[in-house]
Structure 1
Amino acid sequence: MTLDDLPTPCLVLDLGVLKRNLALMQAAVARFPGLTLRPHMKTAKSIEVARLAAPDFGPITVSTLAEARTFAEAGWRDQIYAVGITPAKLDAVAALNAAGAAVKVITDDVEAARAIAAHPGGLQALVEVDVGEARGGVAPDGGALPEIAAALGPRLAGVLSHSGHSYAGRSPAEMAAIAEAERLAITAAAARLREGGLAVPIVSLGSSPTAMHAARMDGVTEVRAGVYMFGDLFQGQIATHPLDDIAVTVLASVIGRRPDRNTLLLDAGALALSKDRSTQAAPRDWGFGRVLDAAGHPLPGEPMVARAYQEHGEVHAAAPLPFAALPVGARLRVVPNHSCLTAAAHDRYHVVEGDEQVIATWNRVNGW
């Protein structure tokens, strides 16, 4: 089967690019002996990808209970569910752990910590620490940190942070500086708790850019990263991976041609591509995605999806498009701005390896 045999729109995953990206991160983490890579499966949501990213059922990070359940049943026991837990979800996590998993949860709330401590099931939790993103987490030097840790008591598993604000960086040097600020903050939080007599076995930090470019990791036990596996047009512009090493694309068909306007219409719109506009803040804005030919090669004029409707993508280019080679029904591939959101619209990957031959189909774990 080839890409020409697939219905469109659909998601294509290049295995060779995926393997290169995995090797790049593994090499980055290997610079720090003793540091564990805990891949975040929120982007890939795939058992087959997990086999490559976390071989031998190594530790992973998940973002939904559906992921936690699926990966636990497939053999990945050591997990961190890295979204703030609610008391209503504790029974589900405890059930997974009773069946043999070791799913740890996170919290930045003292009442949630008390609920975790009081739950009859086998639960462990990390305190989420804010290291600059200002999303979730408590201040490393604030009073909430020891209060939450004390409320967890023996169920305290460690501290955790996420440097999503690293996405504002634009160079390896800037990423390294953000990574060092995160390291200093999370290790200071761990030191405070240890000084208070608490055990803090896990000191977990991460984002793909900071994991790739950190200069130091002393005091940190593990690093979490996820989008590096696939990459995307935004991550490629902030030095997470080479710009051409983006493993996922959306295969689309030409459904309309407007030579007088130098535009094409594709059957991949907002629902197939997402409406993420992260490259708007990057050095190069790719609209709703870069358009390549069916083999994944550039086209004249560097076309992009400039407008996205629910099921329509309108392609614009800076040079005349090759309309003679692009009749209605012709296949093109769209490179995503944000692979996490684009992939979330699809239920499977059609796997290729450097060409148009489909060698496998891998299912995704969608839903919550």
Structure 2
Amino acid sequence: MTQPSIVTIRTPCLLLDEGKMQRNIDRMAERARSLGVGLRPHLKTCKSIEIADRVVTRRKGPATVSTLAEAEEFAASGFNDLLYAVGIAPQKLDRVTAIRASGCDLAIILDSLEQAEAVAAASRASDDPIPVLIEIDSDGHRAGLRPDDAQLVGIGKALDQGGAKLRGVMTHAGGSYDAAGADRHAEWAERERDAAVAAAERLREAGLPCPVVSVGSTPTAMGARDLTGVTELRAGVYVFQDLVMAGIGVCTLDEIAISVLATVIGARPDRGQVFVDAGWMALSRDRGTRNQDVDQGYGLVCRVDGRPFDDLIIAGANQEHGVIEVRPGSDALMPDLPIGTRVRILPNHACATAAQHAEYRVLDGGTSVVETWPRFGGW
């Protein structure tokens, strides 16, 4: 049977180069092994059972999720060691206990006494000690407690003595996404390690258990040089990589495994513009490269075989129209792109772009589609 080609399938659609993805997966797994820690991959980027089976070393886990919908989907498929790495709302605890009752060891995170008391109460009501990691702020970027916060031990006691299970601490240095280069990423990784290990030591000194010390982001996981005191790494976007990661030196353009296939639908030569049928509904509104040295607009335009054109970007995006232009300040020329031409667009943010699509069209490394893998969303 003839395999469908990306020259003929409907557009816009999400393409996945399985070979590139697998090399990215293998690279991170080797990083964790070399650092002597476990790897708890974040599945929020892929939201796909087929991909999760390639990312996680065994179907049971461990893995990280960002929504309870993800936890429910993966638990239903046999993944039974999950961390829901978003601060818990008390109203969601019924879903947490239901997922745990299905046989999945789902752990949650929090950073306040109010949350801890709610989790302890839910643990007593369900006769199931819900495992919890206390979120630590290692960079001032978002949520969490500073390692020396006076509330830390009190929260630990409220969990450990209230009926829940204090499993450890976790942190995520989201600020590392604004740092470029291996040395800077190593510095951010050390900040993560220092904060998490210091918090763990405080809990242990207070007589509380802290078996898990969890850190990670893709930049810090790739930049870390010493993870003494850490038990596991978490990272997610490395599976696909994207233009933001390329812009800070985490990957090369050739290591980006997903792209959006689009078709040329018009042009305004007088304005130096070509239009494609992939707008922000297909690409997302993410402009994560705006403040980097190279602004990639809404995505970098490539030939149908995946090779980038010189300085050709999606400069503007309406709902269903993408506007191709030569990057401002470049000497490159607009290539000949007649109506009907297929192009591929590399994403700024793999998570955001993938979220616009219901499936992956999987490539064999060339231009033939060998499989279609479903993708889910929701919260």
Q: Which range, TM-score by smaller chain?
A: over 0.9
Deviation readout 1:127-161 (Å, 9 max, x if unpaired): 10100143010111011211211111151111010
Deviation readout 1:159-200 (Å, 9 max, x if unpaired): 010011111211100110111111011000000000000011
1:320 aligns with 2:333: yes
Q: For this pair of structures, how many residues does the alignment match? A: 364
The aligned counterpart of 2:277 is 267
1:200 aligns with 2:210: yes
2:136/2:146 contact within 8 Å kept: yes
5+ residue gaps in structure 1?
A: none
The aligned counterpart of 2:47 is 45
1:6 aligns with 2:17: no
Q: Quick one: percent identity of the two aligned structures? A: 47
The aligned counterpart of 1:340 is 351
- TM (norm. structure 1) is 0.96
Tell me the amino acid that sits aligned with residue 61 of structure 1. Answer: T
1:134 aligns with 2:141: yes
Alignment of 1:1-368 (within 5 A): 1-33=4-36, 35-57=37-59, 58-119=61-122, 120-121=125-126, 122=128, 123-153=130-160, 154-299=164-309, 301-317=310-326, 318=330, 319-323=332-336, 326-368=337-379
Tell me the amino acid that sits aligned with residue 177 of structure 2. Answer: Y
Q: Once the 2 structures are TM-superposed, how far is the Cα of residue 11 of structure 1 from its aligned partner?
A: 0.5
5+ residue gaps in structure 2?
A: none
In structure 1, how many angstroms separate the alpha carbons of the residues matched to 2:242 and 2:117? 40
Q: Which moved more, 1:232-241 or 1:58-67?
A: 232-241
2:141/2:174 contact within 8 Å kept: no
Q: Once the 2 structures are TM-superposed, how far is the Cα of residue 261 of structure 1 from its aligned partner?
A: 2.5
Tell me the amino acid that sits aligned with residue 311 of structure 2. Answer: E
Q: Once the 2 structures are TM-superposed, how far is the Cα of residue 320 of structure 1 from its aligned partner?
A: 2.8
In structure 2, how many angstroms separate the alpha carbons of the residues matched to 1:146 and 1:198? 8
In structure 2, how many angstroms separate the alpha carbons of the residues matched to 1:307 and 1:133? 32
- TM (norm. structure 2) is 0.94
In structure 2, how many angstroms separate the alpha carbons of the residues matched to 1:252 and 1:210? 33
In structure 2, how many angstroms separate the alpha carbons of the residues matched to 1:15 and 1:363? 14
Q: Once the 2 structures are TM-superposed, how far is the Cα of residue 328 of structure 1 from its aligned partner?
A: 1.5
Q: Once the 2 structures are TM-superposed, how far is the Cα of residue 229 of structure 1 from its aligned partner?
A: 0.6
Q: Once the 2 structures are TM-superposed, how far is the Cα of residue 259 of structure 1 from its aligned partner?
A: 2.4
Aligned residue for 1:303, secondary structure, equals strand
CA RMSD for the aligned pairs?
1.1
Q: Once the 2 structures are TM-superposed, how far is the Cα of residue 24 of structure 1 from its aligned partner?
A: 1.4
1:133/1:164 contact within 8 Å kept: no
Tell me the amino acid that sits aligned with residue 314 of structure 1. Answer: V
Aligned residue for 2:256, secondary structure, equals coil
Deviation readout 1:203-243 (Å, 9 max, x if unpaired): 10100010111011111010100001100011012122223
Tell me the amino acid that sits aligned with residue 55 of structure 1. Answer: T
